[in-house]
Structure 1
């Protein structure tokens, strides 16, 4: 890749990342949420019986203390409850409340709206190619993150 092209890619990705987070933040604010909380609630909604903090953190790709801090903010709104894990008294499961479950379709609507605003004007076949390229790029970055985590241990 030419140096100028690399700089252009860098600028575009940095700008998009910042703008996406800002627009998402504004939309989620209407739900009383911050970026990251939406994904956490959505993942919890996929786990009917709840999940532990460590399992949730692993699914999110974050450290358990980060998940705990995010949960602490959500706990103030009573969006989940803690239930003991029957097989391990030291563990608790995080289970969404009905109020939180009612938020999930609204979170998904925000995501749909964002996707439409960002890619809606692009023909479907180009959208497919773009999303495939982004997923491939994410896979390559994920490998680098995994590789560096392995070398740090």
Structure 2
């Protein structure tokens, strides 16, 4: 099997019961994003802007746009478009790098820090909503598994880019 020209071994050893993992993963992503999207609308944000804001340094320290783009898994041009909207809302400001003026730096404004705090609280609320009623050991196991899955997927995507 091939994915964008990269060979992927075809093996049923990892999924003896058939295709259960990917459909579940897709459903989890869609449902999770829908829950967050509903809450983001309450604070005037669009999907994806939350992730961008959470990658920015809460202290307001400027960061390279290319580093932020890498952290959220998008191209620099996509990150730049996302930042345009955040900048027009007064949440971020751009500057040029002090060492290399070709580098674009971005930082949160005071308003952006407030909204970032709201996003952090919103994410926590959604997490509590989703996991409410689960035993603590199960919550810890799920958190560990999703963190591991996140790292694995990021590694696989880096190889494809």
Specify the TM-score bucket, using the shorter chain as the normaliser: 0.7 to 0.9
Q: Structure 1 residue 15 and structure 2 residue 15: aligned?
A: no
**Residues in 1 aligned to 2:154 and 2:53: alpha-carbon distance in whole angstroms:** 23
Runs of 5+ in structure 2 lacking a partner?
A: 1-14
Q: 1:145 aligns with which of 144, 157, 160?
A: 157
2:83 corresponds to: 71
Structure 1 segments, 4+ long, off by >6 Å, are: none
Among 88, 92, 98, the residue aligned to 1:86: 98
**How many correspondences in the alignment?**
147
Matched with 1:61 is: 73
What CA RMSD, in Å, does the superposition of the two structures yield over aligned residues?
A: 1.7
Aligned 8 A contact 2:91 2:112 in 1: yes
Partner of 2:111: 99
Could you tell me which of 131, 135, 148 is aligned with 1:136? 148
Alignment check: 8 A CA contact 2:93 2:107 kept: yes
Q: Does structure 2 conserve the Cα–Cα contact (< 8 Å) formed by 1:50 and 1:94?
A: yes
CA distance in 2, matches of 1:86, 1:11: 47
- TM-score (norm: length of structure 1): 0.86
Which has the larger share of helix?
1
Structure 1, unaligned stretches of length 5 or more? Answer: none
Deviations 1:65-123 (A, max 9, x none): 11011011112111112223221222232121111111122111110111011112111
Alpha-carbon shift at residue 47 of structure 1 (Å): 5.6
- In structure 1, the partner of 2:16 is 2
Closer/same/farther in 2, CA of residues 10 and 83 from structure 1, 3 Å limit: closer
